[in-house]
């Protein structure tokens, strides 16, 4: 049995640069080869850094406690598609949660997260924010490239249209929160600055919004960050000061010793179960308080 290769922080940082900043695939593999010591080692390590579509879901697609469907609904300027999940036997009209994907689009992992939210007693909708470009493709690298073609203002408008559609659905109580991860965390922050009707926002390691937009925030926020995520964490202090100066309701949690994407259980190198479980418990408690 082959031992699992050592994955250093420098390798994780290089992968983060590749997925979010300037490195292309070829340059990333060249850098990883130098860090790993050989091309063979780099080829072994690269899949461990990436998210794996083969990773088993925490909640199976056919879970009998849930009702799941693919839906279409009006976006700001066109049709949006998404994955809608609700508890089969809800005792009362639940609140609703928008589950916003990373920069890989609406994939199996985010559908799994939506099912987890629904099992906690909420109606969960995971929109595909690549809908204006035809939807999320199977090729993860192609999906990532498509995000550069999204207009942020139009995307926030689609997020607000999603909130408005959920708020009017029968069988729910009209209150809508949003939780997002990575790119999706950044979108939650942006949505909070533009939506008058958002009832709660939770951003996992998401880019902060322009500080000049913070006064417009109405929803209470919960912000989760990985302690080793220097790229995103560089904006925490300014965001915190703006939230405080404008009297906003918010909580910030920084989880020491964990990386960007620590909640993504399909990425073995970056997932941290202890931090993920703690953040998830805080998130669900927050939604039960704000969306009931």
Q: What is the CATH number of domain 66-290?
A: 3.40.50.1820
pLDDT digit string (tens) for the chain, length 292 residues: 346 677 888 777 777 778 775 557 788 888 888 888 888 887 887 877 776 665 658 899 999 999 999 999 999 999 999 999 999 987 789 999 999 999 999 999 999 999 999 999 999 999 999 999 999 999 888 998 899 899 999 999 999 999 999 999 998 999 999 999 999 999 999 999 999 999 999 999 999 999 999 999 999 999 999 999 999 999 999 999 999 999 999 999 999 999 999 999 988 788 999 999 999 999 999 999 999 9
Longest dimension (CA), the chain: 58
Q: List, in sequence order, every residue forming a beta bridge with 86; answer none if it has no partner.
A: 67
All structural domains of the chain with their residue ranges: 9-49, 66-290
Q: How far apart are CA 46 and CA 194, in angstroms?
A: 38
Residues 177 and 287: beta-carbon distance below 8 Å: yes
Helix axes of 9-20 and 25-36: crossing angle, nearest 10 degrees: 180
Determine phi and psi for 170, rounding to 5 degrees: -70, 150
């Amino acid at each position: 049995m082959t031992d699992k290769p050592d994955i250093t922080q420098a390798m994780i940082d290089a992968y983060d640069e590749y997925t979010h900043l300037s490195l292309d695939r070829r340059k990333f593999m060249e850098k990883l080869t130098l860090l790993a010591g050989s091309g063979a080692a780099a080829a072994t390590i690269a899949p461990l850094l990436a998210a794996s579509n083969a990773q088993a879901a925490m909640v199976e697609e056919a879970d009998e406690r849930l009702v799941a469907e693919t839906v279409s609904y009006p976006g700001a300027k066109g049709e949006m598609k998404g994955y809608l999940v609700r508890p089969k036997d809800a005792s009362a009209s639940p609140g609703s949660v928008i589950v916003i994907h990373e920069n890989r689009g609406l994939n199996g992992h985010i559908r799994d997260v939506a099912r987890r939210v629904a099992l906690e007693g909420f109606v969960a909708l995971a929109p595909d924010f690549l809908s204006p470009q035809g939807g999320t493709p199977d090729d993860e690298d192609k999906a990532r490239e498509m995000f550069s073609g999204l207009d942020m203002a139009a995307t926030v408008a689609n997020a607000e249209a999603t909130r408005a559609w959920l708020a009017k659905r029968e069988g729910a109580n009209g209150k809508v929160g949003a939780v997002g991860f990575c790119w999706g965390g950044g979108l939650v922050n942006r949505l909070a600055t533009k939506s008058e009707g958002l009832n709660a926002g939770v951003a996992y390691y998401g880019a902060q919004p322009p500080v000049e937009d913070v006064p417009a925030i109405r929803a209470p926020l919960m912000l989760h960050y990985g302690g080793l995520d220097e790229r995103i964490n560089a904006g925490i202090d300014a965001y915190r000061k703006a939230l405080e100066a404008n009297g906003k309701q918010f909580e910030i949690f920084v989880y020491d010793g964990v990386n960007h994407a620590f909640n993504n259980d399909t990425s073995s190198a970056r997932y941290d179960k202890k931090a993920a479980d703690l953040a998830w418990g805080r998130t669900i408690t927050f939604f039960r308080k704000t969306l009931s």
